[in-house]
Amino acid sequence: MNSTILILGCGDVGGALGKRLLDAGHRVIGARRNVAMLPAGIEPLALDVGANEPLESLPDADILVYAISADRFEESAYRSAYRDGLDAVLKVFENREHKPKRVLFVSSTSVYAQQQGETVDERSPTEPSGFSGQLMVEAERRLIESPLPGSVVRFSGIYGPGRERLIQQVLEGRVAPSAPVMYSNRIHRDDCVGVLDWLIARALSGQPLDDVYLGSDCEPTPISEVMGWLAKRLKVEPSSVIQSPLRRRASKRCSNARLVELGYRFTYPSFRDGYEQVIKEAGLGATVR
């Protein structure tokens, strides 16, 4: 039976997810500020959750995906998009007669404060010092404590078509230092879509889901090695070293064991697999033999 999926924050990941769900025969409603950017077939719903718009008119849905992003790196924007926005949406659906079978909240690995190369998973402490991680933790807690069934999905650094900042830095000859070792955790946009689609299918079929999933590929790698591989792949001779801002100097290794053990199979299990696809699509060179 076809189901109705409501995607709040139907941007890059949400739009690609919506197209996949449409192909599976579901009804998909996509909410975002600029609905002209929605893929064909997704029912448009013009909405800005952060603008305190009334939400009572939101349509009923069998699955609710909350994938809204803050529009700037400021505490007020994060509070509005994540903690307050999710709280307002949950209050609406908690009082509905037709309640969602599952709410999925797209979160981030910024909830982890570990910085010494530790391996983290869904059971690891989440004690971030920055406002972004703290507000994300508060939003996660709000969903987990809601009477609605919900799952948090913590994605690591998302890359893919249109998300080529690291490639651009390498093309400019800029790479990360090899010391101190700073682990990088990444997930291709298509695997973000795949994970969400896979969790939705399980929820609709009545299979049990955990409260939290960590979405990252199978190979945490020092960022210097990632950029070094890209430089060789793109035949670029590095000419300068990048020093990351203090707020981004986190080093941890994200484990996707829970997803893998449950049965999800990554399309791009390593950064090499994923960036090879991005390079090909962008027409940046012949495949390495």
pLDDT at 100 over 90: yes
Report yes or no: 62 and 5 within 8 Å, Cβ to Cβ: yes
- Over residues 147-176, mean pLDDT: 95
pLDDT for the residue 243: 74
pLDDT at 287 over 50: no
∠ CA 132-138-140 to the nearest 5 degrees? Answer: 100
Dihedral, CA atoms, 104, 105, 110, 111, nearest 10 degrees?
-90
β-pairing, 118-120 vs 252-254, is parallel
pLDDT for the residue 134: 96
Say what the pTM is.
0.94
pLDDT at 81 over 80: yes
Higher per-residue confidence, 143 vs 282: 143
- Over residues 9-26, mean pLDDT: 96
Structure confidence by residue, pLDDT tens digits, 222-249: 999 999 999 999 999 999 998 764 445 5
- Over residues 175-192, mean pLDDT: 94
Q: Residue 140 CA to chain centroid, in angstroms?
A: 14
- Over residues 57-80, mean pLDDT: 94
* pLDDT range class, residue 176, cuts 50, 70, 90: very high
In one-letter notation, the amino acid at residue 122 is: E
- What is the architecture, at CATH level 2, of domain 4-161+185-220+250-269? 3-Layer(aba) Sandwich (3.40)
pLDDT at 114 over 90: yes
* pLDDT range class, residue 27, cuts 50, 70, 90: very high
Tokens representing 100? 């969602």
Lowest mean pLDDT among 26-30, 69-73, 145-149, 227-231: 69-73
CA-closest candidate to residue 238, choices 170, 287, 288, 187: 170
